[in-house]
Amino acid sequence: MNEPAILDAPPEPAPADGGGETPAIEVRNLSRWFPGVQAVRDVSFTVPRGQVVGFVGANGAGKTTTMRILATLDHPTTGEARICGHNVVTHPAEVRRRIGWMPDHYGTYSHMTVLEYLDFFARALGFKGDERIERIAEVMEFTDLTGLADRLVNALSKGMGQRLCLGRSLLHDPEVLVLDEPAAGLDPKARVELKHLIRILAQEGKTVFISSHILSELGEMCDSLLFINQGRIIHHGSAESLRRGSAATSLVEVRLAHSNERLPEWASLSPHVTFRETTKEGGRIEIDSVDPEILATVLRRMVSDGLPVVDFHLQERKLEDAFIEILGELEAAGTPIVS
């Protein structure tokens, strides 16, 4: 089958850098109104190539609407979005060549097997002959579906179905993946499998833009997190900086192999350190810095002074707490918040 008949406007001038440094995703002042609802409000953000960015927000925050616009399935009311430099409204075919889209629900294809399903989409993408067979085999191997090639799609578990949906979005080896709630409804094992696949894709240099309302899920695999609330971007930063927050000190939980009696005295004699409280197996200390070099120096001194340290654990804020805190700050600043 030929490529779907999507007509692009005349080509845009090539970027001066040949496209290499152009961000994978650029969104500028994007808004989308539905009758009576402004789903997306003046949203701007950039995702550099090769990054994994989590898109986080409550139900109805505007994630799917933004992602559907990036995937060329909807038009913004105002503003613009580009994928690898190509405008999603004027050059949708260029965008579709570069983007793999995984919707939060995939259609029902009850009388198709896994192989037939992938073959259908590979044909629609223009793959022919041996190339098509090879590409489907590669995708099935990557998503661990080879042994399920003849299984009917509606007989797949939720996790298998999500892997199939991811496989479908990978058929044309896109540079940018836009994944809408891929882990929703998966059991813990299926979540781990999916995270593993996303990690491999990131290592291969793909840009991944992934939404979820479960923050802990995204924190460990994303370079940065983009928070959206009531259609507005309210924060964009690394998971690490969010966990650290604006704190100027570090709270460290110390576990000792035996006898915690020396810890308070040691802390009172050590620069940068204040003893906070005793715990069953050691205690909590506060260090007057967030500089990793200072933390490492404190740990080294603790060991060289003969304390039997078995664990030195930085206590971080939970990402959920950071999100709530940001909402609280906005509310205090007078920005209306709807959770």
Interface residues with ligand ATP (CB under 6 A) are 34, 37, 39, 57, 59-65, 213
With respect to ligand ATP, which residue has the nearer C-beta, 22 or 212?
212
List, edge to edge, every strand of the sheet that includes 250-256: 273-279, 282-287, 250-256, 309-314
For the bound state, the minimum distance from the C-beta of residue 5 to ligand ATP, rounded and expressed in Å, comes to 24
Q: What count of other Cβ atoms lies within 10 Å of the Cβ of residue 255?
A: 16
For the bound state, the minimum distance from the C-beta of residue 89 to ligand ATP, rounded and expressed in Å, comes to 17
With respect to ligand ATP, which residue has the nearer C-beta, 45 or 127?
45
**β-bridge pairing 309-314 and 250-256:** antiparallel
User: In degrees rounded to 5, what are phi and psi of residue 28?
Assistant: -125, 120
With respect to ligand ATP, which residue has the nearer C-beta, 74 or 316?
74
User: In degrees rounded to 5, what are phi and psi of residue 283?
Assistant: -175, 175
With respect to ligand ATP, which residue has the nearer C-beta, 65 or 250?
65
CA–CA separation, 307 and 69 (whole Å): 57
CA–CA separation, 131 and 194 (whole Å): 26
For the bound state, the minimum distance from the C-beta of residue 213 to ligand ATP, rounded and expressed in Å, comes to 6
For the bound state, the minimum distance from the C-beta of residue 31 to ligand ATP, rounded and expressed in Å, comes to 12
| Cα Rg, the chain, nearest whole Å | 24
Q: What count of other Cβ atoms lies within 10 Å of the Cβ of residue 164?
A: 23
With respect to ligand ATP, which residue has the nearer C-beta, 22 or 64?
64
Q: Which of 330, 316, 315, 178 is nearest to 239 (CA)?
A: 316
For the bound state, the minimum distance from the C-beta of residue 267 to ligand ATP, rounded and expressed in Å, comes to 46
With respect to ligand ATP, which residue has the nearer C-beta, 64 or 169?
64
**β-bridge pairing 224-229 and 99-102:** unpaired
With respect to ligand ATP, which residue has the nearer C-beta, 31 or 279?
31
For the bound state, the minimum distance from the C-beta of residue 70 to ligand ATP, rounded and expressed in Å, comes to 12
Phi-psi region of 144 (alpha: psi -120 to 50; beta: other; left: phi over 0): left
Tokens of 62: 């505007």
Q: Give the E-state strand segments of 35-134 in sequence order.
A: 37-47, 52-56, 78-83, 86-87, 99-102
For the bound state, the minimum distance from the C-beta of residue 330 to ligand ATP, rounded and expressed in Å, comes to 17
For the bound state, the minimum distance from the C-beta of residue 180 to ligand ATP, rounded and expressed in Å, comes to 7
With respect to ligand ATP, which residue has the nearer C-beta, 58 or 314?
58
